[in-house]
Amino acid sequence: MRAPELIKSLPVANTLGEGVLWHPAQQAVWWTDIQACKLHRYHPESESLDTWNTPDRLAAFGFIESSDQLIAAFDGGFALYNPHTGERHWLSQPESHLPNNRFNDGKVDRQGRFWAGTMVERGEPQSIDEQASVYSWGDSPNAVKHLSGFQITNGLCWSPDSRTVYLADSPLGIYYAYDFDPASGSFSNRRVFAKTPKNIGPDGSCVDANGNVWNAQWGGSRVVCYSPEGEVLQQLDMPVSQPTCVAFGGPDYSWLFVTTARENLTPSLLQAEPEAGNLFIYRTDAAGLPADYFRA
């Protein structure tokens, strides 16, 4: 595989850039800065950047076809959100009884459901019921819990045929693969897909048309491309230590967008990483897949 070529490092200095997605109709890339309560949209062709303030920390979102609304996971739960008007309609807050947890990574699957997992943000859980979980929204009037027992859920993505789903527990440095039933949304046959070295956490991911998994690795200054069998195919080294999420897009879906973070970096580290928090755009020889639209 040819080494990705840097096209642009967009100087947005995000505290915690995340949830990056390419919107094909708009030919624009969207992402959130969770801790700064901001949502960004960038048009590469015009080089125009739009930024909205969000009512709470926006962790993840998905597009709704022919709509200005987004399906969203705010820190407190699922909602419909219109960034242009600021209007938010809560759908479900399944962990409102767990003040130490917040929602984190999420995506729309190919069946049109929105998925999001939580993370333990503060304290030590006293039981599995207080640990992080994975939920879906779209098949029933309430959010459905599918998995629990995690510290920080991350890296959620599906194989091109939707028969395999990938999910990481970042602090453990373990990336799991599960068999997935697209009709029911059920997980089974959990196995270890990949492991990261100590102090490097698997973060946000996407899958390309060949089924390879591209994973941003927090603390590792890199994005790693794995084969469907978990073999390392390529490592993209970055000038920042905290890559957070990846998505394919651009005119032919060969561009890789990578969000990054400045969170928890000391002044000396920020001086050594002046591009920390930027959005990076790389040209690759991979073929990405379009983001799926939410269908209620």
- Residues assigned a catalytic role: 203
Place of tokens 């651009």: 250
Residue 12 CA to residue 54 CA, distance in Å, equals: 16
Q: Helix (H, G, I), strand (E, B), or coil: what is residue 270?
A: helix
Place of tokens 């993840």: 60
Give the tokens for residue 273: 């990483």
The torsion angles phi and psi of 119, rounded to 5 degrees, stand at: -145, 150
CA angle 103, 109, 112 (to 5 degrees): 105
Residue 157 CA to residue 206 CA, distance in Å, equals: 6
CA-wise closest residue to 7 among 291, 278, 215, 289:
278
Q: HSE-up of 266 (CA within 13 Å, CB side)?
A: 2
- Taking CA atoms, 223 is separated from 81, 231, 276, in Å, by 30, 14, 15
Residue 247 CA to residue 253 CA, distance in Å, equals: 9
Hey, CA dihedral for 280, 71, 225, 43, is it positive or negative?
Answer: negative
Query: 98 with 112: CB under 8 angstroms?
Result: no
CA-wise closest residue to 211 among 108, 289, 112:
289
